A and B are shown apart, each in its own frame.
Chain A
Amino acid sequence: MSIVRPYGDTTGDGMVQLSFTLPVVHDKRAEGAALQLAAKMGMEPAMLVHAKPMGDGFTFFVVYGRVAHLVDTDQVQVVERDFPLLSAKEVNAVIKRRLRRRLNVVGACIGTDAHTVGIDAILNVKGIAGEKGLEYYRELAVTNMGAQVSVPDLVETARAQKADAVLVSQVVTQRDAHLQNTRAMSAAFREALPAGKRPLLIVGGPRFDELMAGELGVDRIFGRGTTPGEVASYLVHALLGSQN
């Protein structure tokens, strides 16, 4: 069945919860305004379950209610994983057999972004969610350049290390910094290296839209919750072709 509705406690009840703040003093009119917003968002009927004044002239609301909208799961567009998920051992074996040398990976946070948490989760031996990072893979040679790396430095290092793949992490999204930095990075690589010599360009971060790879000029975007194993599997798939 491809048509679904939100589920509260009964199939098809369509119940959702919503919280938000309006820049108005808390009174009857404010509560009415909150319900008006809920109605415009498709919540009908909406129940105002909580309203609380905050600071000078703001009110916080929690609304529960039924939405009339239907969701068609057949119409959903996402980037499905189009490569097999391999174990570290399998990744190492494929690289060894097909590449006959270690696969070079260069990673960095570029621009003003100082949040290395993303790149470190993927690259550091420590890894994330119980999965070891790429440094743990015997057949991967990892250079982690850390935070606030300039694009020219990244290109230079990628060239010097003969990078097969470049991983860039972007956490800060103020003023769309993540998008601008990514475009600048992919443009710099296009300028510096001819098509056949260019490393695989991968960006990751919690606020990227995985569908934007083409628009940003990169080969792949990884979003929230990506694990090192997925990245390693993708590298092998994209650079060496899938096994089996």
Chain B
Amino acid sequence: MTGKLDLDPGVVAKARALAARAGQPVVDLARSHTTVSVERAVLRLAGVQGADSDGIPWVNRLVDTVRADVGLGHGVALPVFDAMRSTGVDDVTVLAQKAAAGAVRFAVPERKADLAAARRAARRATGAGLKLVDRRRAERDRLIKRYGDPRQRPWIYLIVATGDIFEDIPQAQAAARAGADVIAVIRSTGQSLLDYVPEGATREGFAGTYATQENFRLMRAALDETSKELGRYVRLTNYASGLCMPEIAALAGMERLDMMLNDSMYGILFRDINPIRTFVDQRFSRQVHARAGIIINTGEDNYLTTADAVEAAHTVTVSQLLNEFFAHEAGLADWQLGLGHAFEINPDLPDSFRMELAHALLARELFPDAPLKWMPPTKHMTGDVFRGNLLDGFFNLVGALTGQGILLVGMMTEAVVTPWLSDRDIALQNVRYVLNGAGNLHEDFVPAPGGFIQSRAHEVLGEAVGLLARIVDDTLLDAIADGTFGIMKRPADRGKGLDGVARHEDDYYNPVTEALEA
């Protein structure tokens, strides 16, 4: 699939080099800070489970207590595992309960022997969590071998979102039987700004279902049954985003989710989460996803819903390059990079479809080994469901012609209702017709040398290089503060979750990061 656009390898290399230069200061920032959610993820991997009678997870109670005693900058692992030894408690959850009752004083161990003992214990406990993640990954590999991957590319990705996990399950199973290869359970709209992960099976959500460990487990088990029935491994997707992304990544690894939405800048731009909080949480969550064999989905499609899809096309490319850099730095392999992009050009523009093809092909050729995630029109879906169905058909055609890896099925009732059973059926019929009818048309689809599509792709790549150069000069944090992406202005000293960030002290210790970077 390479070489249709005749991209200049020199320009492509330059774009990547600039992305690395723009991203490196942010990586340095992430390596020198921690957050409450990173520390809670460490405790989850160390085995802390459950919540108090108000539904506040014990990991939150424990991190808050440790923080009140010694601050966050040392990491919670040493104070917690030192306290385990000094109090003689052998279950971390029990320690969290005692700590919440005010029965434990935390301190950073000072004696060399205590320090070594605390490190050893922390490593052992979190090692067990990581071993579970490894077992889950091996289990996925085994099930894929047994049941098989989808027969076609792109994989067909469908959303369920009832708010009630017990309604979601039959809907997800029905969607899989109707042809979905990937099921995404959309989260309740409030969740991204919750600074804790709710517990247990949930039946109440707004425009989505809460991401909880139990909901993950229930849905994965149900889709395992359906995979067996269909002879095809059905993947499960959720969201490692918002204030708790590191913890949700850890839970996803432990419950064998297969894909996670995990964008480097989405929370900053669209949820007004503090940029530093996001970048620190991002790096940790990507490291966990790398270990868990999870495919991440990035969120570039969102830029085009606020900015203009033609004028801002290059911001998508820039974000993809940055997401790639951050992902590689965190240890993710190319096959795990579901870089996002979307069909959002105003359909009334002349040549809108040609431009869509050019942009989609550019993404394909820049990232030949990444399973790109192709997102359907939303901004120009007006409630005219008939026109919407046509637009979705053209969207599907671009997907077939440009070798997209993951195709999110567009609904003609976008912006009207949450999809009805019949909307989903009509949408899948649309996808099946286009993929089947187009067949291997991509083999014949060779844009004319120097023609519109090639020129447009070169233009977008050129603009992307220009913007990356400006970001390098300006720094990425300032570019975000100035509203470079998606028009939102997000300064680094503002936004939600900033109070949960701490700079590493010299003796900061995190056994999970240590293991993931080994």
Residues of A within 8 A of B (CB): 19-21, 52, 54-56, 58, 60, 112-117, 120, 124-126, 146-148, 172, 174-175, 177, 206, 224
Give Cα A115–Cα B188 distance, bound, in whole angstroms: 12
In the bound complex, what is the Cα–Cα distance between A117 and B381 (angstroms)?
A: 13
Residues of chain B within 8 A (CB-CB) of A19 are 422
Interchain residue pairs A-B with the least CB separation, the first 7: A112-B190, A114-B189, A55-B174, A54-B425, A60-B422, A21-B422, A112-B206
Contact B383 A124 (CB under 8 A): no
Contact call A115/B420, Cβ cutoff below 8 A: no
Q: Which of B152-177 contact A (CB under 8 A)?
A: 163, 174, 177
Q: Are A174 and B421 in contact (CB under 8 A)?
A: no
Q: How far is the CA of A120 from the CA of B422 in the complex (A)?
A: 31
Beta-carbon contact of A21 and B207 below 8 Å: no
B484 within 8 A of A: no
Contact of A60 with B487 in the complex, beta carbons under 8 Å: no
Q: Which residues of B contact A175 (CB under 8 A)?
A: 206
Are A113 and B189 in contact (CB-based, < 8 A)?
Answer: yes
- Residues in A whose Cβ lies below 8 Å from that of B27: none
Which B residue's beta carbon lies closest to that of A121?
A: B306
Residues B172-218 near A (CB distance < 8 A): 174, 177-178, 188-190, 192-193, 206-207
A-side contacts of B426, CB under 8 Å: 60
CA distance A52 to B426 in the complex (A): 10
B275 to A: closest C-beta gap in Å? 15
Which secondary structure characterizes the binding site on chain B? loop
Residue B415 CB within 8 A of the other chain: yes
Cβ-defined contact, B306 with A120, below 8 A: yes
Query: Besides the contacts A21-B420, A60-B426, A112-B190, what 4 more A-B pairs have beta carbons closer than 8 Å?
Result: A112-B189, A126-B306, A172-B206, A177-B206
Return the contact of B188 from the options A112, A124, A146 (Cβ within 8 A): A112
Instruction: List the A side residues contacting B307 at CB < 8 Å.
Output: 126
B residues 77-99 in Cβ contact with A at 8 Å: none
22 contacts between A and B (CB under 8 A): A19-B422, A20-B422, A21-B422, A52-B425, A55-B174, A55-B425, A56-B174, A112-B188, A112-B189, A113-B189, A113-B206, A114-B189, A114-B190, A114-B271, A124-B487, A126-B306, A126-B487, A148-B193, A148-B271, A174-B207, A206-B415, A224-B383
A120 vs B272: C-alpha distance in the bound complex, in angstroms?
14
User: Closest CB-CB distance, B268 to chain A, in whole Å?
Assistant: 12
Q: How far is the CB of A127 from chain B (nearest CB, A)?
A: 11
Partner of A126, one of B189, B308, B418: B308
Given contacts A21-B420, A112-B190, A120-B306, contact A55 B206 (CB under 8 A): no
A54 to B427, CA, bound (A): 12
Asked if A174 and B206 make an inter-chain contact with CB atoms under 8 angstroms apart, the answer reads: yes
User: Contacts A54-B421, A112-B206, A124-B487 given: A172-B189 contact, CB under 8 Å?
Assistant: yes
